[in-house]
Chain A
Amino acid sequence: MRRVLTFALAALLLAGGAVGSLQAAAQTPSAASGEPIRIGVLDPTTGSFAVFGEQVNDGIRLYFDGVGDQIGDRPVELIFADSAGDPQQTLEQARRLVGQEHVDLLMGTVNSAVAPPLAEFAGQQQIPLVLTVAGARDVTGENRNPYVFRTGLANGQQDRVLGWYTAAKLGKTRAATFAWDFLVGEERVAGFTETFTAAGGEIVAQQKPPLGTTDYGPFIGQVDPSSIDVVYAFFAGPGALAFVQQMHQFGLLPNLELVAPDYFTAGVLDQMGSDAVGTVQAGGYTAAIDSPENAAFKEAYAAAHEGAPGVYVAEGYIGAQVVADAIARAGSAEAQPLLDALAAADLTTAAGPLTFDDRGQAVRTVYVTRVEATADGVAQTIVETVPEVGQSWTPAS
C-alpha cells in the first residue's frame, strides 16, 4: 500500500513539474510591434511524401531567408513539424504547433488526404491555414471553412486547362485516361473529362491502376491503341517513369499524344530522357516562365542549390510570399485581419499573378508545356499560357 502512495505522490510531483515549465512557456504576450510572428509549417519529412515535403520546406525557407526573416518591423519564426503525410499525425502536430508553440498561422502540407482534417482543425482553433500543395477539392469547395486558403492548384484545376487544350488546340478527341485509383486521381480525371468532352472530345477508356503501381502492362494491354489518339496520365515519381517506358515498349508512344498534369515529370524528367519528349503537361509553375519574378526566384534558388527549382520548391516559395504579403498588409498576426488580407491578396509571384476566389482557392496562370529534346538532354518549353484559371475554369470564362 505504501508503494501505491509513493507512486501516486511521484505522479503528482511529475505533473506539477511539467506544469511549471509549461506555464513559463505559455506566457506569450499578444502581438506587439517587434514581437516575432510565428508560422507553423506542416510538411511531410518522413514517409512516402518526404521528398516532396522537403522541397516545399526548402521553398518556404528560401523565401523567408530572402527577406531576412523579417516582415515589416517584426521578425518571423518558422516552426517546422513533420506531418508524415498522415492525417492523424498531422492533427497531432497541428495541435502541438497551436497549443504549445503558439503559432499565428499554419501553412504547408503536400498530400490531399491530410487537408480536410487539418482544415477542420484550423476552423475549430480559429487559426488561418494556408495550404501549399495538397489539392483536395472539398476544402475550397461548397462547405469551405473561412480559415482556409490554398495558394497551390486544386485537384483538377490544371487538368481542366489540359482537357480543353487537348481537344481544342491539339485536335485530339479520343482519349484513354490512366490515373492511380484514389480520390486525387478521380478529381483530376473529372476535371480533364469535363473540359475535354465540352470541347468535343470523348473518353474511350478509363484505366485505374492501384496507387503506387509500377507495372502498367495489364492496364495498357486493355486499351486498343487504334481506338484512341491521346493518353491522359496522372502518375508521379517512379510510377510516371515506369509508365512512360512501358508505353514505349507497348508501342503506344511515340505514336500517340501523351498529356498529363505537371507532377508527371516533376523530379524524374532527366531519368525519362528521350522517352518524355513530346509530353504535354499543364501546371502552375515551370522553370521556363520568363518573368523578372521567376528570374529572381531561380537566382535565389541557384545560390543554395544545384540545377533549376522544381514545382514543389516553387509552391513553397509562392505560399510563403502570399503569407508574408498578407501579414504585411494586415499589419498584424491576428486571425481576422490576416484572413481579410489573404482574401484581398493580389500579387505577382514567380508563377505569375495570384488572387483568391471567394472560397479561398488561388486563381492563377496555368502553363501548358511540351517536353523538347535539347542539346544536353530534355527541357520543358511553354506552348500555351492561360491566365486567371480558377478551380471551376472553363474556356469561356
Chain B
Amino acid sequence: MARARISPGAAVVAIGALLAIASWPLDAYWTGLLTQAVIFGGAAVGLDILVGFAGMASLGHGAFFGLAGYGLALGTLRWGVNPWLAAGIGIVGSTLVALAFAPLAVRVRGLAFLTVMLAFGQVVWGLATRGGSATGGENGLPGVPRPSLGPWDLSGAEAFYLFTLLMAVAAIYAVVRFAGSAVGQSLIGVRDNETRMAALGYDVRRLRIIAFVVAATVGAVFGALSAAFNGFVGPGSLDWRLSAQLLLSVVVGGAGSLWGPFVAGAGLHMLETYFAGTTQRWPLVLGLLYIVTVVLLPGGIASLPRLWRQRRRSARPAATPRSRSASES
C-alpha cells in the first residue's frame, strides 16, 4: 500500500488556503456562514482527540467552548480589558478549568464518563444562567467586540473569516501534529487496550488527562472565535445541545480521522442553517441523517474513501491488490 502521501500537516495548510480562496467571490452572508462552519468543524476536530483517539465520548465539551466565550465577553464588557487579553483569559481560563476537572473525570470510563461530563456541562450552564447581572442570565452578554490585528480591522465579514481560518489552521495543524506524535499514538493504544498499555509502563491516567485538556483547549479557541464572531455569548454557547452536536459531528464524521469530524461539524452547521430557513422539520432531517449514518455508514464520512476504493476493487476483479497499489501511487 505504498501510496504517495502528502503529510497531514501540509494538507491542513493546503485546505486552509483553498478555503481562503474559495471565499473570495462570496458575499458577506456566505462568508459568515463559512466562518461559523469552520468554527464548528474545528471544535469537532478538538473533540475528536478525546473521542476518536482516547476513546472517551463526552457530552460536556460545549462547556469549554462556551467558557472561553464567556471569558472574552466578561473581559471586554465587564472588566474593560483589551479583546486579545480577554480572549487569552477565556482560553487559558477554560483550559485551567479542564485541568482542574480532568483528574476527577478520567477516573471513570464509557457511559460513566459521558454522564459525568454531561453533569459537568450542566453545572457550567447553571452558573451561566444563574450568574445574574454578571453573566446576563438567560439573556447572555451581547456586544462582545471584535479585535483588530494591528492595522488589520477584523470587523468585516471577509476579514474575520480569514482570521478565523488562520486560527483554525494553526489550531488544527497543532492537533494533527499532536495526533501523530508519540503521545497521540499512545492514546490510541489506551483506547484499544488500556490494561496492556499500563502493563507496558505507560502512565495511562496522565495520557487521558492530556487528551482531555488538549481537546478542551482546542474547543476554547473556537469558542472564543465564535463569541467574537457573533458578538454575543449566552447559555446556548455552552449547553448540552451544543455538546451533543459536537459529539454527533465526531460520530457522523468518523471518530479518529480528524478530517471527518471537521467536514461533519462544518457540514451539519451549514445544513442546519439551510433547513431552518426552509422547513420546520430540521430536527427530523437531522435525526434521519444520524440514523442513516449509523446504519449505512458506521465508519462515518471518513470511511467513504475506503468504501470507494473497495467498490473500485470489486468492480475490477482482475486487478491484484499489488498491481492496484502500484497503479495508484
Contact = CB atoms under 8 A, between A and B. Distances in A.
Contact of A19 (B6, B25, B138, B230): B25
A121 B231 contact: yes
B282 interface: yes
Contacts of B283: 46
Contacts of B18: 8, 11-12
B139 A86 contact: no
A183 B273 contact: no
Nearest to B139: A116
Interface stretch (B29-37, B47-55, B190-198): B29-37
Contact of A4 (B6, B139, B234): B6
B64 interface: no
Interface string A104-124: 000000001101110111001
B267 interface: no
A18 B11 CA distance: 24
B230 A46 contact: no
B32 A95 contact: yes
B159 to A, nearest CB: 14
Contacts of B28: 99
B317 interface: no
A93 B277 CA distance: 7
Given A117-B230, A138-B139, A92 B27 contact: no
Nearest to A138: B139
A22 B26 contact: yes
A87 B73 CA distance: 16
B143 interface: yes
B129 interface: yes
A89 interface: yes
B137 interface: yes
Contacts of B276: 46, 81-82, 84, 89, 92-93
A45 B142 CA distance: 24
Contacts of A100: 27, 29
Contacts of A121: 231
A37 to B, nearest CB: 20
B21 interface: yes
B230 A88 contact: yes
Nearest to B283: A46
A18 B270 CA distance: 14
Contacts of A16: 25
A183 B276 CA distance: 27
A91 B137 contact: no
Interface residues of A, number: 45
A303 interface: no
Nearest to A14: B22
A19 B234 contact: no
Nearest to A15: B22
The secondary structure that dominates the B interface is helix
Interface string B253-275: 00000000000000000001100
Interface centre among A16, A89, A95, A98 (most CB of B within 10 A): A95
Interface string A47-61: 000100000000000
A184 interface: yes
A91 B230 contact: yes
Contacts of A11: 18, 22
Contacts of B11: 4
B55 to A, nearest CB: 30
A198 interface: no
A100 B282 CA distance: 20
Interface string A1-21: 100100010011001101100
B137 A183 contact: yes
B315 interface: no
Interface in A131-179: 136, 138
Interface in B61-95: none
B212 interface: no
Contacts of B6: 1, 4
B66 to A, nearest CB: 11
Contacts of A23: 25
A182 interface: yes
Contacts of A305: none
Contact of B231 (A89, A113, A124): A124
A96 B277 contact: yes
B231 A182 contact: no
A99 B27 contact: yes
B232 interface: yes
B101 to A, nearest CB: 24
Contacts of B219: none
Contacts of B140: 87, 113, 116-117
B12 to A, nearest CB: 13
B307 to A, nearest CB: 15
B200 interface: no
A26 interface: yes
B280 interface: yes
Nearest to B34: A15
B139 A99 contact: no
B2 to A, nearest CB: 14
B78 to A, nearest CB: 14
A117 B137 contact: no
B29 A113 contact: no
A136 B129 CA distance: 15
B232 A91 contact: yes
A12 B21 contact: yes
A81 B277 contact: yes
B275 to A, nearest CB: 9
Q: Which 6 A/B pairs are nearest by Cβ-Cβ distance?
A: A99-B29, A117-B232, A183-B137, A19-B25, A120-B142, A15-B22
29 contacts: A4-B6, A8-B14, A11-B22, A15-B23, A15-B26, A16-B25, A18-B30, A22-B26, A23-B25, A82-B282, A86-B236, A92-B33, A92-B273, A93-B276, A98-B29, A99-B32, A100-B27, A113-B138, A113-B234, A113-B235, A116-B142, A117-B142, A117-B231, A117-B232, A120-B143, A120-B231, A138-B139, A184-B138, A186-B137
Given A46-B276, A86-B236, A87-B234, 10 more contacts: A12-B22, A15-B23, A26-B27, A89-B272, A89-B276, A92-B33, A92-B276, A113-B235, A117-B231, A182-B137
